[in-house]
């Protein structure tokens, strides 16, 4: 069995199969399709990434779990989820049903709030690490 990924042709990318919930399912052949049949893998990757950031926080004492950081995460989370709700309602966004665990109406997977929170915490961690390395401690 070959382990190399075979990229889809241009016709497959232009004409994905649309499922009943409006999400497009890629019919591309290859190894990636085998991984796509594992719901929860995406959720596991997000949770594993959170664990990595927690380890960085512990190692470099970034204070990521302080009250100001949690308020910032909450504000950003609400703003981006509002945009996601608008996009999902209008059909702008769709998630691959093979990767997500479930859907919340109007089509947002439960992984989405976790991903948005992770991106926010990761950005704050990078900002604080950069400040330490450049000698300009963020206030």
Q: What are the pLDDT digits (tens) for 7-29?
A: 444 444 444 444 444 444 555 55
Q: Which stretches of the chain are assigned E, i.e. beta strand?
A: 17-18, 24-25
pLDDT of residue 32: 52
Mean of all residue pLDDT scores within the chain:
78
Specify the pTM: 0.69
The token pair that represents 78 in the structure block? 């609400």
Inter-CA distances, 45 with 15, 51, 74, 83, 87, Å = 29, 10, 21, 23, 24
Tens digits of residue pLDDT in 29-65? 555 555 555 778 889 999 999 999 999 999 999 989 8
Mapping DSSP to helix (H, G, I), strand (E, B) and coil, where does residue 54 land?
A: helix
Count other C-beta atoms under 10 Å from residue 106's C-beta: 16
pLDDT of residue 104: 82
| Residue range 78-111, pLDDT digits in tens | 999 999 999 989 989 887 777 788 888 888 888 8
**Nearest to 9, CA basis, from 24, 31, 26:** 26
What's the rounded Cα separation, in Å, for the pair 86 and 3?
39
């Amino acid at each position: 069995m070959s382990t190399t990924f075979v990229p889809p042709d241009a016709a497959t990318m232009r004409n994905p199969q649309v499922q009943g919930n409006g999400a497009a399912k890629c019919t591309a052949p290859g190894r990636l399709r085998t991984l796509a049949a594992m719901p929860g893998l995406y959720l596991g990757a997000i949770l594993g990434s959170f664990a990595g950031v927690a380890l960085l926080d512990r190692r470099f004492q970034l204070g990521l779990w302080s009250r100001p950081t949690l308020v910032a995460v909450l504000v950003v989370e609400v703003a981006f989820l509002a945009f996601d709700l608008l996009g999902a309602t209008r059909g702008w966004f769709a998630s691959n049903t093979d990767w997500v665990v479930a859907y919340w109406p109007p089509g947002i997977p439960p992984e989405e709030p976790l991903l948005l929170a992770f991106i926010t915490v990761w950005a704050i961690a990078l900002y604080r690490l950069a400040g330490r390395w450049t000698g300009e401690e963020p206030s």
